[in-house]
Amino acid sequence: MIIRSGIFLCLAFLLFSCVEEFQPELDEFDNLLVVDGEITNEPGPYTINLSISSGLEIIKPEPVTGAQVVIIEEFGPAETLTEISPGTYQTAEGGIQGQIGKKYKLTINLGGKKYESEYELLKEPTDISSVDAQLEYRAFPDAPEEVPGIQFYVNTEASPHFKDYYLWRFEGTYKYQSSLLIYYVFEGTLYDFEDHDSLKTCYRTYKVGEVFTTNTDNLSVAQVNNKPLFFLPATDRKLTIRYSLLTKQYSISKEAYDFWHGIELQTSNNSSLYTSQPYQIRGNLKNVTDPDEPVLGYFLVAGVSENRIFVERPSEVEIFIPDCALDYMAYAYIFDTGPDEWPIYVTQGEFGRAIAAPGCMDCRRLGGVLEQPDFW
């Protein structure tokens, strides 16, 4: 997952902030446990991801298998999660359900060690009033020329809390098309491909790798207006036809805010080595049997509200998609290929039959699926 990889990467580096509390250096430790998961007021199943890393080399974390992972409701039920794939633990369908106003904690038993979080309150979520999409132009360090794109903004309803703390996460879905039609398919024999455009249109859903936070500490009214979220450049297929953004707004604790705000600062373009003192990101979990061992990541307990919007292709912007090169010479060699290379799709160009890069004809090779999402 994109967002998960971003979290692991962020946890590996120094975060910049004026915090004087002493924290032992993370590179003094091997086999750091990394925890990423949540329970919310939305229906489960809930997922906890566990990985282990050596020192600061956690860009490609190794999954932790064979752990006992339990979500516990204070004065209520507990559920032991099932490992559904290496390092991924999940509650059952119809299992424990997060409820507003109740407290939850996570415990992990692994190799004779016990890790746990403190009980944390699942807050009543603040509703999203709207998410707006505006066509804007922006320059980037690696692209000083301004590029067009969609800037997203969020507005909240008035919070039910005197002070509120927010985390935003996103899931994007876009409709796109491959560049070339398919006229033939080779699978030991060359056949006509009658529905030339049947593999042309796909839908792809992905996790947006950025997180955003804010709080209402200094606001006279606990309501957020026109909070800038992420910028989606109109430089690839995402905006060529239609784009949908699912925004999840988490009402979180002050402690969770401090953690995720730290992640946001670390991944922003505005952090500087010279503006603040470094400290290392810690979450809300600890090793009960060895309190000196750092634990990375966060078990999030939060109330969630959602909003989905759709963005049509900006008519004012020309979105450039590189042309697909036709290889006429390579067509002759498909008859020497084996079953492990089939099917091979063939298109028709100015000079006859040709092949091209797989994604040029089969949109699925660009990561999408043919089925239109139910919400589309």
Question: How far is residue 285's CA from residue 70's CA, in Å, rounded to a whole number?
Answer: 13
Q: Which region among 6-15, 63-72, 275-284, 287-296 has the lowest average model confidence (pLDDT)?
A: 6-15
Output the CA–CA distances (angstroms, integers) from residue 258 to 153, 156, 316, in the order listed.
22, 20, 40
pLDDT in tens, 313-326: 998 888 888 889 99
pLDDT in tens, 188-200: 999 999 999 999 9
Which three-class secondary structure state does DSSP give residue 115? strand
Output the CA–CA distances (angstroms, integers) from residue 189 to 83, 123, 307, 335, 355, in the order listed.
44, 62, 49, 8, 15
Percent of the chain with pLDDT over 90: 69
pLDDT greater than 80 at residue 143: no
Token representation of residue 151: 């800037």
Instruction: Calculate the dihedral angle through the C-alpha atoms of 28, 30, 31, 32, rounding to the nearest 10 degrees.
Output: 10
Q: How many CB atoms lie within 10 A of CB 81?
A: 24
Mean pLDDT of 224-236: 92
Higher pLDDT, 372 or 294: 372
Output the CA–CA distances (angstroms, integers) from residue 117 to 77, 256, 337, in the order listed.
16, 12, 56
What confidence score (pLDDT) does residue 274 get?
33
Question: How far is residue 174's CA from residue 229's CA, in Å, rounded to a whole number?
Answer: 18
Output the CA–CA distances (angstroms, integers) from residue 328 to 129, 183, 344, 346, 360, in the order listed.
54, 14, 14, 10, 15
Crossing angle between the packed helical segments 2-12 and 254-267, to the nearest 10 degrees: 90
Token representation of residue 330: 């390579």
